[in-house]
Amino acid sequence: MAATQTLIYLDGKLVPESEAKISVFDHGLLYGDGVFEGIRIYNGRVFKLTEHLTRLYESARSILLTMPLIMQEMEQATLQTVAANGLRDGYIRLVVTRGVGSLGLNPYQCPKASVIIIAGTIKLYPEKVYGEGLTLITCATRRPSPAALSPQVKSLNYLNNIMAKIEAIQGGAEEGVMLNEQGYVAECTGDNLFIVKGGEVFTPPISAGALDGITRRVAIDLLKEMGVVCQEASLTRHDIFTADECFLTGTAAEVIAAVELDRRSIGDGKPGLLTQKLVEKFKVLANSTGTAVTYP
Residues in the chain: 296
> Whole-prediction pTM value?
0.95
Contact 180, 174 (CB under 8 A): no
> Angle CA(285)–CA(286)–CA(289) in degrees, nearest 5?
75
What one-character-per-residue DSSP string does 19-80 give? Answer: G----TTBHHHHH--EEEEEEEEETTEETTHHHHHHHHHHHHHHTTPPPSS-HHHHHHHHHH
Residue 157: left (phi > 0), alpha (psi -120 to 50), or beta?
A: beta
Paired strand residues for 175: 136
Q: What three-state secondary structure class fits 107?
A: helix
Residue in 100, 111, 121, 127 with CA at minimum distance from that of residue 25: 100
By annotation, the residues acting in catalysis are 154
**Homologous superfamily of domain range 127-286:** D-amino Acid Aminotransferase, subunit A, domain 2 (3.20.10.10)
Whether residue 192 contacts residue 216, with contact meaning beta carbons closer than 8 Å, is answered with yes
CA–CA dist 234, 176 (Å, integer): 18
Distance CA 259, CA 241 (A): 10
DSSP-assigned letter for residue 152: T
Beta carbons within 8 Å of 187's beta carbon, 6+ residues apart: 143, 151, 178, 193, 204, 209, 210, 211
Architecture (CATH level 2) of domain 7-120: 2-Layer Sandwich (3.30)
Per-residue pLDDT tens digits for 232-286: 999 999 999 999 999 999 999 999 999 999 999 999 999 999 999 999 999 999 9
SS3 assignment, position 155: strand
CA-to-CA separations, 13 to 76, 176, 204, in angstroms, rounded: 13, 38, 41
Q: Any idea where the domains of the chain sit in the sequence? A: 7-120, 127-286
What is the distance between the alpha carbons of residues 20 and 180, in angstroms, rounded to a whole number?
38
d(CA 102, CA 269): 53
Helix ranges (DSSP H) in 87-136: 127-132
Q: pLDDT tens for the chain, 296 residues: list them.
A: 345 899 999 999 999 999 999 999 999 999 999 999 999 999 999 999 999 999 999 999 999 999 999 999 999 999 999 999 999 999 999 999 999 999 999 999 999 999 999 999 988 888 899 999 999 999 999 999 888 889 999 999 999 999 999 999 999 999 999 999 999 999 999 999 999 999 999 999 999 999 999 999 999 999 999 999 999 999 999 999 999 999 999 999 999 999 999 999 999 999 999 999 999 999 999 999 999 999 98
Burial letters for 98-128: b for 16+ Cβ neighbours within 10 Å, e otherwise?
bbbbeeeeebeebeebbbbbbbeeeebeeee
Report the alpha-carbon distance of residue 119 to residue 93 in Å, rounded.
7
